[in-house]
Structure 1
Amino acid sequence: MDNESFSIAIDKKCVAEMPTVTFAGAITVIERAEEVAAAVSFLRSHDVVGFDTETKPNFRKGMTNRVSLIQVSTEDHSFLFRINKMGFTPELREFMECEDVIKVGLSLKDDFHMLHQVGEFEPRGFVELQDMVKKYHITDASLQKIYAILFGHRISKGQRLTNWEAQMLTEPQMIYASIDAWACRHIYLHLISGNFVPAASPYVRHEEETASSQPSNE
């Protein structure tokens, strides 16, 4: 990318006014270890997938839970692996380590740290969106804001703090989890397509504008 002196960022109010993203693809929930191999085989037939995880929130200070869910999505099919029920299976570990599928995520360092609590693996084939978008002058780091900048739609975060270890996931939970993984893939493919021209973004902020918006120290 070029070295022009501008950045791209969007404010929360603007995002809040955008229409909400929907997921029209198929969603498959995997709860038994014997179901994993077929799902992973399907995913490995694709060049690029989106990746994310969910963890049951813990509202006690200093306490965290283990990862509840791994979600992986193609263009039109999302798989939700409920590892709180079946564990981190050998097939999942092999998928995490395979290099023949590009796995796109955001804040992957945090995901890997949490996943290492349930199983050892060496992550390979992953693309970190927070690093990637910097090359396109995007300074916002959240999935919601990055998606809004690129596509003008808002990813709802209403299900983020729900119980991901419930006996059965609700439909809103399944859709939320699927969108997060699917959106990562969608962003990656849009950026590498060359169709996004940073300088033409309506959210461009030039250096002098950024400086003038900073609060005075006087």
Structure 2
Amino acid sequence: MPTVELPEQYTRAFTKEEINALPLKRWNGPVEIVRTEGQRDKAVKELRNDPLLGFDTETRPVFKKGRKPNLPSLLQLATAECVYLFQLNLLPMDNGLLELLADPAVIKTGVAVRDDICGLRKLTDFTPGGFVDLSDISASTGMQTHGLRNMAANLLGFRISKTAQCSNWAKDNLARAQVAYAATDAWVSRELYLAMKELELL
């Protein structure tokens, strides 16, 4: 990994007030909600056309102490043109999707991806390939914050909403706010990778 001396604007920790003062952005492009086998097959084919995918998952939160974590309900993969939301409680991860997640030639980039991969492997075991954890890169370069929201402030100059984070991701019909939140997280993950590449951190 290249050793680059980053300017302070990229390494310093932003306060909550500073982040809240930044412009709010979200993904405004097309979103495909994948609920059927036909939609899954079409989505995987389209995802194969982009060698860099933003990656994230969403899991219904547990509010009672001592209860086991829930399994992931949503898998998000973002290309340059579209974000695909796979509803894993309605559709198994097969017919090309697992192969995509295992393919080392396709970069899947996100924050704290180990936890996401661990959750996905509890649904269907696979050997992950091509994953890049942006948190590891930010930590190795002296950045003070490693979460998606803080990294967006540092590297992209805007803030993203986290209001839907603790909502019920296991619902069959996701709310508009959930769709926007999930799509934005995957899109931002891809944008952060590109920003880090521009700064020669990759």
Same fold (TM over 0.5): yes
Q: For 2:89, which of 73, 84, 89 is the aligned residue?
A: 84
Tell me the distance in 1 between the aligned counterparts of 2:149 and 2:63: 23
**1:167 Cα deviation from its structure 2 partner:** 2.3
Q: In structure 2, give the amino acid aligned to 1:107.
A: A
The 1:172–1:5 alpha-carbon spacing in structure 2 relative to 1, beyond 3 Å, is closer
Provide structure 1 residue ranges, at least 5 long, that are not aligned to the other structure.
Answer: 197-218
- Please, which of 69, 73, 77 is the counterpart of residue 68 of structure 1? 73
2:123 counterpart residue number:
118
Deviation of 1:4 (Å): 8.1
1:5 and 1:20 map into 2 onto residues whose CA distance is 24
Q: Deviations over 1:62-99 (max 9, x none)?
A: 22211000000012300000011112224221111012
Unpaired segments ≥5 residues, structure 2: none
1:29 corresponds to which of 10, 33, 46: 33
Q: Deviations over 1:180-200 (max 9, x none)?
A: 00101101111112389xxxx
Deviation at 1:139, TM superposition (A): 2.1
Query: Per-residue deviation at 1:5?
Result: 11
TM-score (norm 1): 0.84
Map 1:1-218 onto structure 2 (within 5 A). Answer: 1-2=3-4, 7-63=11-67, 64-194=69-199
Partner amino acid, structure 2, of 1:45: N
1:3 Cα deviation from its structure 2 partner: 6.0
Residues 1:3 and 1:191: Cα distance change in structure 2 (over 3 Å): closer
Matched residue type, 2:187: W
The amino acid that maps onto 1:17 is A
Cα distance, 1:192–1:3 mapped onto 2, change above 3 Å: closer
Q: Secondary structure at the match of 2:123?
A: coil
Distance 1:151 1:145, change over 3 A: same
Query: Are the structure 2 counterparts of residues 2 and 190 from structure 1 closer, same or farther at C-alpha, using a change threshold of 3 Å?
Result: closer
Aligned residue for 2:84, secondary structure, equals strand
Corresponding pairs, count: 196
CA contact (8 A) 2:102 2:127 kept: yes
Alignment check: 8 A CA contact 1:69 1:80 kept: yes
Which protein has the larger Cα radius of gyration, Structure 1 or Structure 2?
1
The percentage of counterpart residues that share the same residue type is: 32
